[in-house]
Amino acid sequence: MAQAQCGRVVVPLDRNRPGSATISVAYVLLPRQDRSRPSLGTLVPNPGGPGASTIDQAEWYVTKLGPLRERRDMLLVDPRGTGRSSAVRCAAAEAVRTLQPNISELIAACGKELGSRANFYGSAAIADDIEAVRAALELDHFDLWGESYGTYLMQVYASRHPAHVRSILLSGAYPVDFDPWGRDRLRAARRAITLVCQRSGDCSGPVVLREVELLAERLRRHPLSFSVDVSGRRQKAVVDEAALAQLVYAGGQAAIYGMLPAAVHSALHGDPAALFQLLARTQLEGLALMHSSSVSIAAYAATDCHDYPHVFSYLDDPAARRSAYQQALADLPGDDVWPFSASGWAGAGFEGVDDCIGWVADSSSLGATPPISPGSPMPDVPVLVLSGDLDANTPTEAGRLAAAGFPHATVLEIPNAGHTPGDDADCAIAIAIHWVSTLKADRRGCEADPISVAVASAKRAAALPPVSVRGERVSRKVRTALALSVAVVGDLGRQSELVRFFGEADALRSGRYVLVSEEGKDVLLEGVKVVSDARVSGRLTMDDDQVVGSLTLLGRGVPDGTLKLKVSADGTGRASGKLGGRPVDVRFTM
């Protein structure tokens, strides 16, 4: 990073009025490591968003794509409105502290704050900014590397500036003209559930989907609610059909499909705790993203509303847009959105739908043409699309449509992977690096680790999955206490990211995990209940390969006592202390 060349290029905010306001576009050029030989080209990545800073991801790109830097330069450009490129802000988004904000109202408020600038943050303008940086640095050809929204942006750049593209890598791709109703995403979600069940052998895809349908019907008639702590204040969260659809959509997080079957089944049978926790975690992660310093919600909204397809016209006023949207929603065939109703699936949280109905649109510059005009030729360059077969955010079906726009494109589907497969499988990154280097796709097997399917959460301690004690006989009550300790460690692991970001998180049934060290490892357990008949307090330290600490166990379901605990990543553990007044020192396997 010491050799990095940092700079800015000043460009018009509106290229149709070059003499008007300007903005600065920031870049970082990382020179190749081997300076004794000529450069093989320049790699230009984008991490997605929209609204995300590319420069803030420099460490990730340098670490993960190191082999490409031997002979290639790397150019990081913050899209206009993000990071160091004249970032735009949305006070309405920054003020959000609610778990379930009204996204349509929030985006409308962001548009009003941007005012006359709102229509100048589309992908075409961002692509032209990248081209302005290229010209200023006198670079020749780019190897484009797009992830998520970055795949959208790289298609736009390639269409507008084909002469400077050597190759394109699209990880988690979707076409520029995607389905605003996300029907391909729902097809992918149904497939993902089926695949996870088939591969694990621990559930049946058709059974899970039928239970999702039953729960969706129930929640449509009688929504549930629970409370969750958000920044030190308890809030009521509603669990309706749209909330369930949000979990089935999963936003590309493949691991959710391992937790969903048991959570849905338990909720159908009167125990919604796991469903509540999964939903709270998903929505809190969304809230954390909204407040991330690396993401501009204003830029996200401006790109979303400028570029993405919608079922209404910006030439109409908001009331007419809403009417057109509702009519299109009513016309959706039921089979297209099964196991949900149309309105339930439309609330799942993907782009399109009604988010931009209240956007402040200037009809002279917005909505007239998409970033890539229909029928526009794409450059005849090598293209590789990587799709995860458990990704419902940018599913393989969408990746194939994106690939179809190029004369020569290859699509590789990575088993067990979710959104942007390199996040789940190191071999996917290796394939991409090899492809950029050679322009040849390595079709040998590449899989992410299989998704494990969680068992239903036990309501009582005696029903917890048992542990195997090594080398000695212990009572059933001691085994139950060990099982409870392991269950608490597992529950903390599922909540660990929230604990590190917010400083605390709810346990499964009640109680709190509270961060007590700046390193993000030491956690205080305050009356944690993962079952209804036992409570655990104490302190645990989370390292990469183990969890260690001390616990105090109380309740009807276990013998009262204290334990020093060590649980390793390989599934082995040791516990010592006193339970029910008797000494305990055992090794066990989960």
- Residue 531's Cβ-count burial label (10 Å; 0-12, 13-18, 19+) is buried
Query: How far apart are the C-alpha atoms of 554 and 527, rounded to whole Å?
Result: 9
Q: Is the dihedral of CA 554, 559, 560, 563 positive or negative?
A: negative
Tens digits of per-residue pLDDT, 519-561? 889 999 999 999 999 999 999 999 989 999 999 999 999 999 9
Q: Could you tell me how many residues make up the chain?
A: 590
363 — pLDDT class (breaks 50, 70, 90):
low
Q: How far apart are CA 580 and CA 558, in angstroms?
A: 9
Residue 550 to residue 362: CA distance in whole angstroms: 61
Token output for 370: 């998409």
Q: Give pLDDT tens digits for 144-163.
A: 999 999 999 999 999 999 99
Q: Using omega within 30 degrees of 0 as the cis cutoff, is the peptide bond preceding 377 cis?
A: no
pLDDT tens digits for range 496-510: 999 998 899 999 999
d(CA 211, CA 468): 32
Q: Tokens at residue 500, please?
A: 């590190």
Q: What is the pLDDT of residue 362?
A: 64
Stretch 326-354: mean pLDDT = 96
pTM of the model: 0.94
DSSP state of 462: G
| Type of residue found at 225 | S
Q: Say whether 272 sits in a helix, a strand or coil.
A: coil
Quickly tell me which residue has 């780019």 as its tokens. Answer: 142
- H helices, E strands: number in the chain: 17, 19
Q: 436: helix, coil or strand?
A: helix
Omega before 45 cis (within 30°)?
A: no
pLDDT of residue 341: 98
Angle at Cα 484 formed by Cα 482 and Cα 490, nearest 5°? 105
Lowest average pLDDT, out of 161-170, 174-183, 227-236, goes to 227-236
Q: What is the DSSP string of 143-202?
A: EEEEETHHHHHHHHHHHH-GGGEEEEEEES---SS--TT-HHHHHHHHHHHHHHHHHHSS
Q: Are 195 and 419 in contact (CB under 8 A)?
A: no
Residues in contact with 372: Cβ distance below 8 Å, sequence separation at least 6, in sequence order: 155, 156, 159, 176
Rounded CA separation 584/474 (Å): 9
* Segments of 2-98 assigned E as strands: 5-12, 22-30, 42-46, 73-77
Angle at 447 between CA 573 and CA 283, to 5 degrees: 70
d(Cα 338, Cα 209) in Å, to the nearest integer?
A: 9
* Contact call for residues 576 and 588 (beta carbons, < 8 A): no
Other CB atoms within 10 Å distance of the CB of residue 576? 14
Cα–Cα distance for residue pair 508/530, rounded to 1 Å: 5
Output the CA torsion 325→328→334→335 (10° steps).
-110
Indicate left, alpha or beta for 555 from its phi (over 0: left) and psi (-120 to 50: alpha): left
Are the C-beta atoms of residues 399 and 435 closer than 8 Å to each other? no
Residues 536, 528: contact at Cβ < 8 Å? yes
- The answer to which of 236-245, 363-372, 438-447 has the lowest mean pLDDT is 363-372
Please provide the distance, in angstroms rounded to a whole number, between the alpha carbons at the two ends of the chain.
Answer: 44
Average pLDDT, the chain: 94
Provide, rounded to the nearest whole percent, the portion of the chain with pLDDT above 90. 85
Question: What pLDDT digit, counting tens, does each position of 42-95 carry?
Answer: 999 999 999 999 999 999 999 999 999 999 999 999 999 999 999 999 999 989
